[in-house]
Structure 1
């Protein structure tokens, strides 16, 4: 069956699509990284070797296969080989501590974990439940099944686990989010109009992140080329994108900010770009406008969760007056807003975002209690996923996010949304980056405290705080403002507010 026919199916699998692309366009480049390239024919062959080696080693179908490494071709073939063996690819964050990585491996039950030079040392002295294979050493090639080996055929059902993605662990114990083959197939299938078949897609975020997979998987599913950056650098991104004639990219807001700030940005030839997307963190209206004005191609912002739920989409080029929003729900996605008692709020009112779609997690791996806590059911008994954000719909149906529900500050009985304060603080000419967190207060219950990174030398935190507070309501004003050399961020650009709160808690009163 041809790839084109497979892509019209109600359900198929990515390994089957890769086989079809190898047969039909075997010489076409599938993957590019800093060390080389690999065609679809070669990719299919090595994916077979990985799958056959996993089966040889007794790794059973639906078992997790852990990967904790920086992005590369070798990483990609292990991920895809695990799928062909019927296993669940389980990518882990290499920025986690060794203790956390070992804990996630144990939680997943993976009998084998693939690491590289950046992560193998982190696991020294840890109690490991899996054997390790180093992707950067000759032991990886030696581990592969002999060239030409075909794995035993497996039957993959729609409900079978495709991957398990662990939450960052910055807000507690990491939870394994199980995503099914049906979910991933729906995700690949729905991108029929995105032009991935002849795409050259820049992969500039980590492969353990759903942010990356939502672009990486459709690129391979439709037969495009993925250009993998081991580590993001704004100038190097522009150089690679121009050299490779890149057409697509998924980036997070902090990456857009750094790219647009490259002094000679306008000298790079980005004319081949057709689609740039963004997700995972707040994306300011001003930055969206700058990208639309100076970078060819569409800019589309998606709002959603790794767990699934509902997704909204904002086509920035077509909606210049809605750049403060995250767009409208995409077809087949139902998003509601509920109050603290689980009741839907009135039109125009704020509420917690819950969503339902074909792309929802099966649940958290081995955590039925956490799964139940993440679910909401409507009056008809339909299942939704809680997004954890507070927002409202405007009169045109565009969703405007206020904040993470857990980041809401309640001070003196008033609700304070950090994003409102951050929007004002960011306007000060001496502020390059900023955030606001809530900290305990005997007088008010909680009080807002700001952190900022200075733009240049000689900034005065007291003067910046006074300037900001003059522009805020009385109940919103910052009680303190701290200068930092940089804000702690996850690998996909989210500010790690818990780390900032922890820093404040350690400061003597």
Structure 2
């Protein structure tokens, strides 16, 4: 298998065809009680590819998929890749207006959806195909597919060709379409050589297929001939049942999912000894939570730091560096990560700056948004292209990257830079605090001032004023909170990111 993966470039669709020959009855994708083996997946991909070609959709043109994870979803995505067609996976939770904007931006020729996304779909121009066969939603998938046994016309692709368009979560405004190439996805697959991927791999995915977080494990698992177990919606208790039942070896979870799993009273009673690697990305992963995962969950723990846009990654193999849990690891060998100041100049060694990165896996650009693409780029004096992350960080003496905050989340109060993560870290030390988010709100005296939104642990009780005084006694004078609000939950995106913009927008109070 290593010889197959360790080559300059290959197509994922071709690797699945190879597995269909070598291990036709090996399970490829499992969802609930439904499962398909590699031979069946290969045939269905051909049916999708032929149907797309029959509809006149050419390589390089796009389709959109808007539905929860399912075997039908996976088959359409993979079949489109076989035809050289670009896939725009979209969130069913989006608004009708947002969905229409993304479909229009992607120039999608067809939209695949199911009943769960019917309301969000609204009035879309492209023809609709119903993944679940619901004729009220669109043409049933079974009726649209080409006959079984159909063979598509060859559709070779170059590494630079568009693979998919991933839309940003929209937490900072209108979603942007991030065009990722076949070469970028191949780099993700080759990274799997480090993490014991093989035909014996069983990967449990409970995050949605429209998220790059999910896809960085989805494609490598299939490329290596492993088995995918899909969850349409995360449920902590059900996740553990599936992990035990299928003897799961690999998984991707965001921090809030780790938190909810470890909080289950019977977590430690489950046999999770089959796990080889657990991965995390997409949101800040607290050192305390990482340590708890390492202590209670067998197998390695790996944190990926990077952007959907690409531009370099850092990796923390937490099980090998338990003293570096406050970092996001070191840059990968193929990544060039640098730190720049407000003027776009590299900062001196040891100082903090905005993280920018270059690698072989970078987005082509934001789809049909050249100005946004230029805003995301930084070029060094030699003309080398980097992607700006918007994150502020610094390298420690051992070359591990320590992150402070998103640049846009940094609070400037009375001329001082305040990093919300500092206060959030202090709040986590209080025994009553489950999670928190600190944002900057307008202040007449200081321009901006920090306000904390806090969720308490179940059964815990503490007054907001008491908790504010407690944390203010532990931080510097310029960092002190002006207000602290107790709330039942923090707003999150579908992938688990805290929506700080919503917290800022919800603030109606006044501070001096």
Q: Same fold (TM over 0.5)?
A: yes
For 2:2 and 2:269, locate their aligned partners in 1 and report how far apart those are by CA, in whole Å. Answer: 38
Q: Which residue does 2:506 correspond to in 1?
A: 503
For 2:353 and 2:2, locate their aligned partners in 1 and report how far apart those are by CA, in whole Å. Answer: 42
Question: How many residues are aligned here?
Answer: 505
Post-superposition Cα deviations, 1:137-172, rounded to whole Å, max 9, x if no partner, equal 261111111111111111211111000000111211
Q: Which residue does 2:491 correspond to in 1?
A: 488
Which one is further off, 213-222 or 498-507?
A: 498-507
Alpha-carbon distance, 1:7 to partner? 2.0
For 2:380 and 2:387, locate their aligned partners in 1 and report how far apart those are by CA, in whole Å. Answer: 11
Match of 2:470, SS state, is helix
Is 1:184 the counterpart of 2:185? The answer is yes
TM-score (norm 2): 0.97
Q: Which residue does 2:119 correspond to in 1?
A: 121
Give runs of aligned pairs for residues 103-114 of structure 1, distance below 5 A.
Answer: 103-114=101-112
Alpha-carbon distance, 1:190 to partner? 2.7
Post-superposition Cα deviations, 1:329-387, rounded to whole Å, max 9, x if no partner, equal 11111100000011111111000000011110000000111111111111211111001
Whether the 8 Å contact between 2:443 and 2:511 is mirrored in structure 1 is: no
Is 1:319 the counterpart of 2:318? The answer is no
Alpha-carbon distance, 1:173 to partner? 1.1
Match of 2:472, SS state, is helix
For 2:197 and 2:204, locate their aligned partners in 1 and report how far apart those are by CA, in whole Å. Answer: 12
Aligned counterpart for 2:332 among listed residues 326, 330, 333 = 330
Whether the 8 Å contact between 2:2 and 2:193 is mirrored in structure 1 is: no
Q: Which residue does 2:235 correspond to in 1?
A: 233
Whether the 8 Å contact between 1:63 and 1:88 is mirrored in structure 2 is: yes
Is 1:55 the counterpart of 2:53? The answer is yes
Aligned counterpart for 2:451 among listed residues 441, 449, 452 = 449
Q: Which residue does 1:196 correspond to in 2?
A: 197
Q: Which residue does 1:292 correspond to in 2?
A: 294
For 1:4 and 1:468, locate their aligned partners in 2 and report how far apart those are by CA, in whole Å. Answer: 52
Whether the 8 Å contact between 1:411 and 1:475 is mirrored in structure 2 is: yes
Aligned counterpart for 1:67 among listed residues 60, 65, 68 = 65
For 2:510 and 2:165, locate their aligned partners in 1 and report how far apart those are by CA, in whole Å. Answer: 38
Match of 2:349, SS state, is coil
Give runs of aligned pairs for residues 8-407 of structure 1, distance below 5 A.
Answer: 8-124=6-122, 126=123, 128-137=124-133, 139-197=140-198, 198-407=200-409
Whether the 8 Å contact between 1:120 and 1:134 is mirrored in structure 2 is: no
For 1:5 and 1:224, locate their aligned partners in 2 and report how far apart those are by CA, in whole Å. Answer: 16
For 1:66 and 1:123, locate their aligned partners in 2 and report how far apart those are by CA, in whole Å. Answer: 11
For 1:393 and 1:211, locate their aligned partners in 2 and report how far apart those are by CA, in whole Å. Answer: 25
Alpha-carbon distance, 1:207 to partner? 0.6
Q: Which residue does 2:411 correspond to in 1?
A: 409
Aligned counterpart for 2:473 among listed residues 470, 473, 489 = 470
Alpha-carbon distance, 1:130 to partner? 1.2
> Structure 1 residues 379, 32: CA separation in 2 closer, same or farther (over 3 Å shift)?
same
For 1:488 and 1:281, locate their aligned partners in 2 and report how far apart those are by CA, in whole Å. Answer: 13
Match of 1:317, SS state, is coil
Which one is further off, 344-353 or 52-61?
A: 52-61
For 2:283 and 2:119, locate their aligned partners in 1 and report how far apart those are by CA, in whole Å. Answer: 30
Whether the 8 Å contact between 1:191 and 1:218 is mirrored in structure 2 is: yes
Alpha-carbon distance, 1:494 to partner? 0.8
Match of 2:252, SS state, is strand
Q: Which residue does 2:137 correspond to in 1?
A: none
For 1:8 and 1:422, locate their aligned partners in 2 and report how far apart those are by CA, in whole Å. Answer: 42
Post-superposition Cα deviations, 1:313-341, rounded to whole Å, max 9, x if no partner, equal 11111111110000101111110000001
Whether the 8 Å contact between 2:352 and 2:392 is mirrored in structure 1 is: yes
Post-superposition Cα deviations, 1:173-201, rounded to whole Å, max 9, x if no partner, equal 11100000111112212322322212100
Alpha-carbon distance, 1:506 to partner? 8.7
Which one is further off, 71-80 or 184-193?
A: 184-193
Alpha-carbon distance, 1:5 to partner? 4.5
Whether the 8 Å contact between 1:34 and 1:230 is mirrored in structure 2 is: no
Whether the 8 Å contact between 2:395 and 2:402 is mirrored in structure 1 is: yes
Alpha-carbon distance, 1:118 to partner? 1.2
TM-score (norm 1): 0.97
Alpha-carbon distance, 1:466 to partner? 1.1
Whether the 8 Å contact between 1:355 and 1:384 is mirrored in structure 2 is: yes
> Structure 1 residues 398, 230: CA separation in 2 closer, same or farther (over 3 Å shift)?
same
Whether the 8 Å contact between 1:392 and 1:399 is mirrored in structure 2 is: yes
For 1:507 and 1:410, locate their aligned partners in 2 and report how far apart those are by CA, in whole Å. Answer: 17
Which sections of structure 1, spanning at least 5 residues, go unmatched? none
